[in-house]
Structure 1
Amino acid sequence: RKHIVNKSSKCMPLLTRRAKKQAPRWKRWVYSWWDQAVEDVPLDIDLVEGSIEGLEPHAVCCETAEGKRRVDADLLCLATGYRQRFPFLHGSTEEEGKMRPDDPLPTQHFVIDPMKPRMAYIGFVRPNVGAIPPMSELQAMWWSQKLEGKLVGEASKLDETCYRLKDSRLPYGVDYGYYMFAL
């Protein structure tokens, strides 16, 4: 079974709108029962199940069960699970038959790399206490503000020193309160 958990009811009708239009009549009726009309919104959210083969400036190349697929995209959101492995960025995930450790996270608040500011890594930090979803929401808001040029100044080394956990088994373990404050 596949489930989509989404807090935004305004976003729900956009999810796989193309697939909904191609669905059997009875399924379209079910979708119309809970989806609000958003025909005036000129965008779609495509869910692609497969592995990424490469990134282009405005598209993503994927390998799916149906074959290779190129998807035009303004935004790419990857649900990678509990392991952070990005073979399309860092090469193969295997070294001599053994799985390697997680790929590194970027330097600015574990969210962005200054060399690739339009690529964000949301939801990977692990707090000492507290929940990850509110941290992810704040990371997304921080990144949005950063993209729009609305942030004043840069993250200081003091911020990172305060929120990075010293004896964490994970290099991206953070103190919840300090991290949220720094963002």
Structure 2
Amino acid sequence: MKRNPGPVVLPILGRKLNPEEPGIPIDVSRANMFDTTYVHPRLRNSMILWEYYTYYIKLLLWFCSGATAGMDQWIGKMSAERHHPSKIFFNKSMKVCPDISKPYRPATPGPQLWHYALRSALIQTPISDVGPSNKQGAVRFIDNGRLEYHRIKNEVVRPDMIVYCTGYQQKFTFLESLDGQAFETRPITEITNVRSIWNRAEPTMGFIGFVRPSLGAIPPLAALQAQLWVLHPLAPRRIPQPLRPEDDPHYRLLSNLDARVTYGLDHESYAYQLALDMGSAPGLWDICNITYHANTTKAWRLRIVWAFGAHFTTKFRLVSPWYWDKAAARPLFFGKIPARVLKSSED
């Protein structure tokens, strides 16, 4: 799981990053209470939460690095129309930014340099050493303690061509049309018109993993997709309510019609929607019931995990229909919580 170092508070006093604290994993650094859990439909379907994250993210980036386009990203900004969390896919790695940003960080005496120096004296995310060692483009490799460094440390690497991998398109030319229109001419969002998993005309054919979260991972979402797809034909009575199309827009990213990727979505909102569809999302009373019957003094941890933890797939295995008695033993937020803390006395 990708981690970036957290900021150092008061580095002017000589404080440094604690190597024993690698930082919070980026994919699970989001609390969900009143964000995706227990959110009124009007708030969920509006742009209020998106606008909140716009200011929250930019403010956080500025406090930690002084830049708002990205962590220590001083050049290569998106246009104002695109730079919005409802429209972009986040780059979770900041390894390349020091190389790109070094010539563009404030260096000329003036208000900008003064503000940068004052802020970085109070709080600053550690910036790794840059790679290129000269203006001719020769790459200097940093000793990372691994074998590949010792193999390449004495070589001069000067690339003369850079190939940009611009992505791919999903086409299913080998599939027959469901309604007279060929599959290869249709975006994946149109083919999978039920929770981005199957087509209403052919629910027995599922497309698992054909989504792209803006921040998060595809495999956990694919697991939830598979659960709902299997549940729909085999045990439809376990689905508590119809899978309404009006519940789709709140988790989709806002992409242009001519965009290459039209299947982007918000990881946490989508995961929670699938859990609601299956009746697998534990509510407040479910958590209270589990903690009440738990024979331990650490049951309070579950309440914090449920309210402030990310939407791990194991969170949606605590109640039916995909109840798993070993889900409670998985490491969540405070390390490995004893199974008896999370396991209810009732199946």
TM-score interval for Structure 1 and Structure 2 normalised by the shorter chain: 0.3 to 0.5
Provide the TM-score with structure 2 as the length reference.
0.25
Using the size of structure 1 for normalisation, the TM-score is 0.46
Name the structure with the higher helix share: 2
Higher relative contact order (CA 8 A, sep 6+): 2
Which one has the bigger strand percentage?
A: 1
